[in-house]
Structure 1
């Protein structure tokens, strides 16, 4: 049962992470599950004190936590309007269908690992839907969009905005600590 008012600020990295009852590596407790939502409540150097939804808390290597978006863009108009997300949502469906087909073929033994990697190379999508709020990755322009059901705006972009058709062509996104370390 989640603690009332709990709102995660971070998630545990995809491989999980060790946790300690105090910021002392000689006093381990248990490992935190991969992608567990946590709320960072305090920092002491590289240590981070986290609160879990069930009220349990622990100390972790705060540099490894993955920050999650908290607040949508403000309505001050400072962000670029992004238009209609329907084309991007259709693209997400297409990429997901291609990935699903390749994964099914891999599971059925019709592809080996190398063929699966080749078939999925370059596929890149990202969507987070939380009630009326939506964050949608536009791989063509290498930016995240935010939509609230009435409008869509650019939320975050890597570098200068690019016109359609001039996608990033880069390696997969890497996790960077929110304080710039990593």
Structure 2
């Protein structure tokens, strides 16, 4: 269940990151998953207190969080590249169904822990729905896209703007600030 008012401000790096109960290295907790959208709540030097969509919070090394724009690209104006969001949604559904099947088999005793890890290795999904807005992680192109229900446009790429621009399937990364791109 998503915490009311949750709006991601950052994403965990693609390899995940360690987390702590408080800004104290002696109090580690469960690591954060790769590409998890989080909301920055507080900063104390390099420490960052983040909130996850499910209401869980932790302290992390804020220097490694990947910022996402506060405001996605305006849906009324032209985006760098538009695409139908349905293929990305279908891939997300397929990935989630594959993971759900593996969880059911694990819970039912049909898989052991190692078999579960093998079956789920390489699965990756990222999706945040906020009313009419959706943020989807496109695993094939290594990018986050924003959509308004009719079209999507790239707003952050794993490899940065230079690598994204070199790939004709990528639109260049565009970071949007309150003052514009």
TM bucket by the smaller chain? 0.5 to 0.7
Relative distance call for 1:61 and 1:114 in structure 2 (3 A) is closer
The structure 2 residue matched to 1:39, chosen from 38, 41, 49, is 41
- Tell whether the 8 Å contact from 1:143 to 1:156 is kept in structure 2 after alignment: yes
SS at match of 2:140: coil
- Tell whether the 8 Å contact from 1:11 to 1:38 is kept in structure 2 after alignment: no
Is residue 120 of structure 1 aligned with residue 120 of structure 2? Answer: yes
Is residue 17 of structure 1 aligned with residue 20 of structure 2? Answer: yes
Q: TM-score scaled by structure 1?
A: 0.58
The alpha carbon displacement at 1:80 in A equals 3.0
The alpha carbon displacement at 1:114 in A equals 1.2
Larger radius of gyration between Structure 1 and Structure 2: 1
RMSD: 3.9
Q: Deviations over 1:157-180 (max 9, x none)?
A: 12223467xxxxxxxxxxxxxxxx
- Tell whether the 8 Å contact from 1:11 to 1:68 is kept in structure 2 after alignment: yes
Ranges of 4+ aligned residues in structure 1 off by more than 6 Å: 5-8, 11-15, 30-36
Long gaps (5+) in structure 2? 33-37, 52-58, 170-181
Q: TM-score scaled by structure 2?
A: 0.58
User: Which range is displaced more, 60-69 or 84-93?
Assistant: 60-69
- Tell whether the 8 Å contact from 1:73 to 1:155 is kept in structure 2 after alignment: yes
User: Which range is displaced more, 62-71 or 130-139?
Assistant: 62-71
For this pair of structures, how many residues does the alignment match? Answer: 142
The alpha carbon displacement at 1:138 in A equals 0.9
SS at match of 1:128: strand
Query: 2:50 and 2:145 mapped to 1: Cα distance?
Result: 29
- Tell whether the 8 Å contact from 1:138 to 1:145 is kept in structure 2 after alignment: yes
